[in-house]
Amino acid sequence: MKKRLSTLSYILVCALFVSACGNSNDSGSNPSSGNASESKSASTAEGGNKNVEFKFFSNNPDRTGGQGLAEQKLIDRYMSENPNVKITVETLSPDPQFQDKLKIYNTSDKLPDVTMMWGQKRYLYPLVKNNSLVTFAKEDFAGQGFIDAAFDSFTMDGKIYGIPKNTDFLVLYANKKLLADNGLEPPTTEADLFKIADALKSKDIVPIALDGRDSWPLALLFDAVVARQSGGFELYHKAMDRTGSFDHPDVIASAKKIQRMVTEGMFGEGFLNLDYGGARNLFGQGKAAMYLMGQWEMGISTDVNFPEEVRDNLIAIPWPASDDGKGRTTDLLAWFGGGYSVSAKSESSEDAKKFAIWMFQKQNWAKTVWENGITFPAQNYDEFKTGKETRVQNDLTGILGNATVFSGANSQDLFSTSTAKSYLDAITEMMASKSTPEDFAKKIDGIADKSFKEMNP
């Protein structure tokens, strides 16, 4: 995992994930499964003229941009090619509300036919325990270019309960012109971040737009800072599997650094009340110099809702290195995030599963999200490169391709269902200076211990 990959293509980066997880999931030899007309024929042959209707539950309310647009494009095409199928869409955001509704659907046995889902035991276990999800076979996705390890987080007891959609990683988006107009360069070290904050403090420009209301972006920030402070991801991996501890000097130092970021105005005033859309808009309108978010926001550079001058000057950079060089920019906080699952308790399960498998034929999801500059799929997309990729797309490709160490699932996804909120609340309290770094470290270590015992009874 520590071999440098500066010139390798994305597929070779994917191979590192494969190597890390040691599974083989993609036979890569199903040439007959990749086009829509065959999907239609199969549907007709197996479904006849029976009218079918099912629901698609998404956490992407915007159906005109981003992943919501990709979903809608595919849904519309599938219905066009299969006129006996009607798919209705329900959306809910932000994610905490979506997850709460998902729990209600599960406990009432009314899970939508196809639903956005996150991997990891924390999310899947309640639904698997309730027999709410259909299972998939590796052969369902043969030849579709999936990164083998991407299925790991959707697999429990050897059964696949969801389809991964993205390769996710944390970056900083930066407005290069706005920085230059103020005599600043994009940061390469964490010390640069403090210089930028100091320079912009009196100019009504927020150094880094940050969604503080949802708390999970704060956890990503915490993970990134700890990784730089400790020189990698081992500390929080060991803290989660209890061979180590969060009550550690590097965690305390990281908390002190983050609290200093807050007090020196790095995220602007009142950022803990700023939601996802607000933070994105702050940056997109040129009122923030940088924006901390995942690669899935790469479409921000083509979002016509933002001024052309901003869009034309956007770049993506990795979270800066530690000042002592121990934490490198090539240590990438990267994981396989969301995907889709299918309800096992609806009358349309079979048709919904057929649609979900069709959705992830490589000509569908992978091609759509890459060609529209939306996100990095969990499938190889090399064949869909056009040479007309945006600067941000190319920057992100470079960040992923140059990474030497990948975190895997970040710590917040590894907590049990009952402790995840406590962990996120503790980070929010720490950033609001309602706890000392020392008390914070002890608190999240206790939460991690409780989580481990619940996850490993």
Per-residue pLDDT of the chain (457 residues; tens, 9 = 90+): 333 333 333 433 443 333 333 333 333 333 233 333 333 434 444 445 689 999 999 999 989 888 999 999 999 999 999 999 999 999 998 888 899 999 999 999 999 999 999 988 888 989 999 999 999 998 999 999 998 788 988 999 999 999 999 999 999 999 999 999 999 999 999 999 999 999 998 899 999 999 999 999 999 999 999 999 999 999 999 999 999 999 999 999 999 999 999 999 999 999 999 999 999 999 999 999 999 999 989 988 988 899 999 999 999 999 999 999 999 999 999 998 789 999 999 999 999 999 999 999 999 999 999 998 888 999 999 899 989 899 999 999 999 889 999 898 888 888 988 899 999 999 999 999 999 999 999 999 999 999 999 988 8
Q: What is the pLDDT of residue 120?
A: 83
User: How many CA within 13 A on the CB side of residue 103?
Assistant: 10
Pick the closest to residue 337 from 293, 276, 297, 296 (CA basis): 296
Residue 128 belongs to what H/E stretch?
Answer: helix 121-129
**Nearest CA-CA partner of 395 in 174, 209, 225:** 174
State both tokens at 293. 């978010």
Q: 111 — phi, psi (to 5°)?
A: -60, 130
Domain 169-333+407-455 has CATH 3.40.190.10: yes
CB atoms within 10 A of CB 346: 20
Say what the pLDDT of residue 133 is: 97
d(CA 205, CA 197): 9
The pair of three-digit structure tokens given for residue 314, joined into one six-digit string: 């956007």
Domain 52-166+337-389 belongs to what topology? D-Maltodextrin-Binding Protein; domain 2 (3.40.190)
Residues pairing with 335 in the sheet: 168
Characterize the bridge pairing of strands 163-164 and 338-342. Answer: antiparallel
Q: Is the pTM of this model over 0.85?
A: no
Structure-block tokens of residue 144? 């579709």
Q: Rounded distance, CA 457 to CA 268, Å?
A: 43
Whole-angstrom distance, CA of residue 106 vs CA of residue 198: 49
Element (H, E) at 209: strand 206-209
Q: What are phi and psi of 228, to 5 degrees?
A: -70, -40
Q: What is the pLDDT of residue 293?
A: 96
Q: Provide CATH 3.40.190.10 ranges for the chain.
A: 52-166+337-389, 169-333+407-455
pLDDT at 48: 53
Burial zone of 15 (CB within 10 Å; 0-12 exposed, 13-18 middle, 19+ buried): middle
Quickly list H helices, 22-108: 36-47, 66-81, 95-107
Question: What amino acid is encoded at 340 in this protein?
Answer: Y
**pLDDT in the model for residue 150:** 87
